[in-house]
Amino acid sequence: MIVGPIQLIIGFALQSPVLIWRDLHGTIWTLSISYGFPLLALLFIYIRITIFLYRQSNVQTLIVQRRQQRDLLVIKRIGITVSMLIIFGLPNLVFLILTSMTDVEYALTYRIQW
């Protein structure tokens, strides 16, 4: 119940430097906060799970092998989900970069963001 307002305050605090930097620095900051950090967090989790699976011993029972195959399937699906999020976010990134370079706001940017 209190997590929502805390996330909102943190979001506003992280985006507040954009009010000062209205050039390429602000755009880079926004892109790194909006796309970079969540992507790095997902990649970190994905790498940790992969390392955990590779450290398992090679001699295993059938039940353990099935469990690991199921875990590997889940990791693949997580990877597909993350890659789809990245692919769907790229058009918005392109429009944001174009807006910061040309100072012309494209109407399609707002449609993609929502």
* Domain extents in the chain: 3-113
Q: Is 46 within 8 Å of 75 (Cβ atoms)?
A: yes
Asked whether the predicted pLDDT for residue 112 surpasses 70, the reply is no
Residue-wise pLDDT for 4-27, tens only, equals 888 778 877 877 877 777 777 777
Residue-wise pLDDT for 75-97, tens only, equals 888 888 888 888 887 887 788 77
The tokens for 70 are 């199921």
Residue-wise pLDDT for 63-80, tens only, equals 877 888 888 888 888 888
Q: What is the pTM of this model?
A: 0.51
DSSP string, 73-93: HHHHHHHHHHHHHHHHHHHHH
pLDDT (0 to 100) of residue 64: 78
How far apart CA 38 and CA 45 sit, in angstroms, is: 11
Angle between helices 62-102 and 24-31 (to 10 degrees): 160
